[in-house]
Amino acid sequence: MNFKTFLENFDAIAEAPGGIPKLRELILDLAMRGKLVPQNPDDEPASILLQKVQLNRKHLLERGKLHQKKPLKPIEKDEIPHDLPEGWNWCRFGQIIDCYRGHNPPKLEFVNEPREGYVRFIQITDFKTDGAAVYVPVSHNLKYVCKGEIAMAAYRHIGKLSRSVEGAFNVAICKVIELQPIYRDYIEKLIGSIYVKGELLAASGRAHIPSMHTEHLLSLVIPLPPLPEQKRIVEKVDELMALCDRYEAARQTRDNLRQQLRGSAIASIMNAETDEELGAAWIFVRDNWHNISQHPEDIDSLRQTLLHLAVRGKLVPQNPDDEPAEKLLKVIATKHASYAKKFRKPKDLLPLKDVDKPFELPFGWSWCRFTEIGQLDRGKSKHRPRNDSVLYENGSIPLVQTGDVARANGVIETYTALYNNQGLAQSRLWSKGTLCITIAANIGDSAILGFDACFPDSIVGFLPTKPIPDSRYFEFFIRTLKSRLEDFAPSTAQKNINLGILDEVLIPLPPLAEQKRIVAKVDELMQLCDQLEASLRQSHQRAESLAASAISHLTI
């Protein structure tokens, strides 16, 4: 592989999803394999460089500038991952650097402003955010780093580097000192490569909070080029990383523009005042979606827009011959009066005022509440503890939990456990077709039961009264309401809302015939959304495949 081949594949990798981070890794990988810049046979070989480093180490030890460390083991044959160019050498990292962790003074000594006799104290949080500075008294127990020296995170954000910090540093930070005449900038690039950062992350990834041991860092087997080539590598890596920065900035600009265009297109749909305006806006979105959308997740905004249009009466035309919703409400009210004892009676609801109405409804529609058109109640699970095996042994009755609702795509097809008859006795069986709404954990998730099932009181069930045929329209409505339901939840560790909040929710109710047309149109358009999403995913997969192919050819 030569540099020309690498540049020929640069665009293909950069434009793939996640391509820029992969490209940065590839640049460092090629650099450390000796494939990024040409070798010069006149360069003094790395074997001579190592001898000079060892001589310098000896002098520093004799002068007390370094502490004696445990001898490094010779490199075994099976530790060498690949061949190196002529003039390069494999060595232990500890042969060309020294490193040590910092010291933690008592927190009582921390102050928040600079004082005479105090020094800035660098903590691991300074590697991720520009947090408030703290200062500690100067002490011989502290470890110090100067600006330009390499400080590396050895805890949590392992391998993250900074050469801009200055002051004393804590035990979560490791100072890396190159041994002359090793080039410091090459050490920095090496730490970012798979030979150092990749190995350290792999070794620490099994821990709950990643942490690094200096002995492991020093023992890593790393590639060492001649000193002049180290400098050529650093120059080329910096040049290519700057090119990555430009690609990244251009990509971000394009994404921002797409986002603005997408937002404007969707706003034009939502704000359309006539059927002609709505039709033109929808045609623009439909025909240009691939130009204004980049990620499969962007389809979610289109789905939400369609649902908002549906429940505002803008998705299908009204038919003046449809029996109005007001008459439907009267029919349902008569039925409710005949079996009122079977239904939970909500607290007295305030009369509906015009100022309470969220938006203007089309002709023939009416505002209503859940309890006016069906049965709304919480699930039930009285027994404690809820995981008592006595409720589940030889069970056959599905128990649905909030996670099953959250994972459903409109219809619940999974269950968490199976109740037996004793489990059923302390719960309640809801029929297939019940609309389930979560009011704890993930608030406002909704889906329709695909089978008869029980569920606990963290889920509310809604069953519409005939002649309303099913819950599909109301499930669409709840999806448009999700973000607002979360606003009602108290600021506690376990967010939840109560049944009374759902009792107060105002529902835009279309005529029965229009409900059916809305459900059919939403199904049709959601299928189109699924196709658009699948197309975007296929495009991403093709781009990723091309990038992976390019990377595999470049690294051979």
Q: Do domains 44-225 and 325-510 have the same CATH topology?
A: yes
End-to-end CA distance of the chain: 8
User: What's the CATH number for 325-510?
Assistant: 3.90.220.20
Domain 44-225 has CATH 3.40.50.300: no
Tens of pLDDT along the chain (556 residues)? 455 666 667 777 777 777 888 888 888 988 999 989 999 999 999 999 999 999 999 999 989 888 888 899 999 999 999 999 999 999 999 999 999 999 988 887 889 899 999 999 998 888 776 667 899 999 888 999 999 999 999 888 888 898 888 899 999 999 999 999 999 999 999 999 988 988 888 776 655 677 888 899 999 999 999 999 999 999 999 999 999 999 889 888 988 888 888 888 888 888 887 778 877 887 888 788 777 877 778 888 889 989 999 999 988 889 999 999 999 999 999 988 877 666 777 777 777 777 678 888 999 999 999 999 999 999 999 999 999 999 999 999 999 999 999 999 899 999 999 999 999 999 999 999 999 999 987 889 999 999 999 999 999 999 999 999 999 999 999 999 887 877 666 655 566 788 888 988 999 999 999 999 999 999 998 998 888 888 888 877 776 776 666 666 555 5
Angle, helices 512-555 vs 19-32, to 10°: value is 10
E strands, 146-298, where?
Answer: 150-153, 161-162, 167-169, 173-178, 221-224
Tell me how far apart the alpha carbons of residues 284 and 265 are, in angstroms, rounded to a whole number: 8
SS (H, E, C) 325-357: HHHHHHHHHHHHHHCHHHCCCCCCCCCCCHHHC
User: Per-domain residue ranges for the chain?
Assistant: 44-225, 248-311+529-547, 325-510
Tell me how crowded residue 166 is: count the other CB atoms within 10 A of its CB. 17
Q: What is the pTM of this model?
A: 0.69
Residues forming beta bridges with residue 97, ordered by sequence position = 178
Q: Look up residue 35 and give its two tokens.
A: 């494939």
Q: Cα–Cα distance between 468 and 476 in angstroms, integer?
A: 15
**pLDDT at position 393, please?**
95
Beta strands in 105-193 (DSSP E): 118-122, 135-137, 144-145, 150-153, 161-162, 167-169, 173-178
